[in-house]
């Protein structure tokens, strides 16, 4: 069983730039969620994708956007980067349609905005 993989592992960007983070789901999973984890805090829900459409969104501005592909992989795009966007970005996959399917996380992408 292949787990959730994320790329890249680390990234340094300058304020105002744009970034794309990538995620491959665990095999058998059809739903992808993205979370932001700031230092010393718990992960915070950004959005979820199911059947290639956004299926729920947390309190994040529109410059955070995403995609899900037919193979259930996903991208997180952040435009106009701000210093506060520096965080660990976690992708998680799960199986919608199975009541109570837990999230399975990748190891994350550490984004630093300077």
Partner 1 sequence: DQQVKQNSPSLSVQEGRISILNCDYTNSMFDYFLWYKKYPAEGPTFLISISSIKDKNEDGRFTVFLNKSAKHLSLHIVPSQPGDSAVYFCAASADYGQNFVFGPGTRLSVLP
Contact between residue 66 and residue 33 where contact means Cβ atoms under 8 Å apart: no
22 binds partner 1 (CB under 8 A): no
Residue selected from 7, 17, 27, 96 as contacting partner 1 according to rule CB under 8 A: 96
Contact between residue 10 and residue 107 where contact means Cβ atoms under 8 Å apart: no
Residue selected from 8, 16, 28, 56 as contacting partner 1 according to rule CB under 8 A: 56
Which tokens go with 82?
């701000």
Part in contact with partner 1 (CB under 8 A); list of ranges 11-19, 65-73, 74-82, 100-108:
100-108
The CA distance from 24 to 99, in Å, is 22
Residue selected from 48, 68, 74, 93 as contacting partner 1 according to rule CB under 8 A: 48
Report residue 70: phi and psi, to 5°.
Answer: -55, -25
**Looking at beta carbons only, is 13 or 104 nearer to partner 1?**
104
**Looking at beta carbons only, is 70 or 102 nearer to partner 1?**
102
For residue 77, give the 3-state DSSP assignment: strand
**Looking at beta carbons only, is 9 or 17 nearer to partner 1?**
9
């Amino acid at each position: 069983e292949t787990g959730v993989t994320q790329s890249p592992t680390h990234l340094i960007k300058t304020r105002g730039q744009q970034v794309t983070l990538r995620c491959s789901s665990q095999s058998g999973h059809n739903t992808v969620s993205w979370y932001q984890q700031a230092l010393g805090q718990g992960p915070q829900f950004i959005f979820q994708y199911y059947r290639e459409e956004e299926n729920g969104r947390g309190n994040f501005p529109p410059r955070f956007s995403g995609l899900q592909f037919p193979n259930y992989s996903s991208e997180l795009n952040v435009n106009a980067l701000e210093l506060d966007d520096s965080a660990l970005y976690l992708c998680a996959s799960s199986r919608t349609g199975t009541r109570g399917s837990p999230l399975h996380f990748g190891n994350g992408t550490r984004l630093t905005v300077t």
